[in-house]
């Protein structure tokens, strides 16, 4: 008696499930969801070719140094890089002396303690220090940025889908709102203090375009600092801050693949040798 009842209950669940599925599909066809402004006008990141792309990718250290210069002269005023130390810059080609000079010349001093009085103080940054925060706290950050807190950029290239391409697209994607958008979604007009960018999730963000003109920075290696070039360079730099061991990971992956190929070949040859005299 228990089994037939259990079977009936199971069939009832299946029937309800199928009924809900069919009803939902019919309603979706008859009354599809209304399009949203984000769905209609949000763009996927542009394609970005960097030397670090792909399983065999390696960093272009000249580009990373240019990207650091863009971060230092443009982005550091608002965005932190708090998971990176000054001495880490040696990995992208700066000498120890250059790193010490960069830390000492940094515009923001780091918190410290007066050794004589024990009171809070500040001092010049040192190579062992992490990059200082641009604001004393979140309240100060909001007050200076239209009530928005600029995110830390240390892991941005991993925190966003297509991280480097996303950063590049965002930096080069500022534009006026399309007339078609305002025609179909008049309530979606960009508000005061916001800036339209189709590569941002909700199309409007508090950050104004940071890269506004060619030649905004002067590259030490003589590369022409167009807006497009600066955006590519700082995107490449943020790939490095997010994955400083990327080259080691790629090299390890190649070594493992080669080892597995050799091991598989040896195992197959051993199999053929051991079973060579056996008839099937």
| pTM of this structure | 0.83
Pairing between strand 204-205 and 195-196? antiparallel
Q: Can you give the pLDDT of all 280 residues of the chain as single tens digits?
A: 667 777 777 788 888 888 888 887 777 677 666 567 777 788 999 999 999 999 899 999 999 999 999 999 999 999 999 999 999 999 999 999 999 999 999 988 887 777 778 777 888 889 999 999 999 899 999 999 888 999 999 999 999 999 999 999 999 999 999 999 888 888 888 888 899 999 998 899 999 999 999 999 999 999 999 999 999 999 999 999 999 999 999 999 999 999 999 999 999 999 888 887 666 5
Binding site annotation covers 184?
A: no
Domains of the chain, start order: 37-84+130-204+215-248 (1.10.760.10)
Binding site annotation covers 79?
A: yes
Cα separations in angstroms, 78 against 81, 176, 195, 277: 10, 23, 16, 74
Cα separations in angstroms, 211 against 132, 152, 230: 22, 18, 8
Binding site annotation covers 250?
A: no
- What pLDDT score was predicted for residue 191? 87
CB-based contacts of 233: which residues, under 8 Å, 6+ apart?
A: 63, 64, 66, 67, 69, 70
**79: burial class by Cβ within 10 Å (0-12, 13-18, 19+)?**
buried
The dihedral sign for the CA sequence 102, 136, 174, 51: positive
Question: Across the strands, what pairs with 122?
Answer: 111
**SS3 for 195?**
strand
- What pLDDT score was predicted for residue 155? 96
């Amino acid at each position: 008696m228990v089994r037939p009842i259990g079977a009936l209950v199971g069939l009832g669940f299946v029937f309800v499930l199928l009924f809900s599925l069919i009803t939902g599909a019919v309603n979706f066809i008859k009354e599809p969801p209304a399009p949203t402004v984000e769905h209609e006008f949000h763009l996927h990141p542009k394609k970005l070719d960097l030397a670090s792309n792909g399983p065999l990718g390696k960093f272009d250290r000249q580009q990373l140094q240019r990207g650091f210069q863009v971060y230092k002269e443009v982005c550091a005023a608002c965005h932190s890089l708090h998971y990176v130390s000054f001495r880490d810059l040696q990995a992208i080609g700066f000498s120890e002396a250059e790193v010490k000079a960069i830390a000492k010349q940094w515009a923001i001093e780091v918190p410290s303690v007066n050794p004589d009085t024990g009171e809070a103080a500040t001092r010049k940054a040192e190579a062992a220090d992490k990059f200082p925060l641009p604001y004393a706290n979140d309240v100060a950050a909001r007050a200076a940025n239209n009530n928005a807190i600029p995110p830390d950029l240390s892991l941005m290239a991993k925190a966003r889908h297509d991280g480097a391409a996303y950063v590049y697209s965002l930096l080069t994607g500022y534009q006026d709102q399309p007339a078609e958008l305002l025609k179909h979604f008049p309530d979606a007009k960009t508000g005061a203090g916001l800036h339209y960018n189709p590569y941002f999730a909700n199309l409007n963000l508090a950050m104004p375009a940071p890269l506004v003109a060619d030649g905004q920075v002067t590259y030490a290696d003589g590369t022409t600092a167009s807006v497009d070039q600066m955006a590519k360079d700082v995107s490449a730099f943020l790939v490095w801050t997010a994955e400083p061991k990327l080259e080691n990971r790629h090299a390890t992956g190649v070594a493992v693949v080669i080892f597995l190929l050799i091991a598989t070949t040896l195992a197959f040859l051993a199999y053929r040798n051991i079973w060579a005299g056996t008839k099937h």
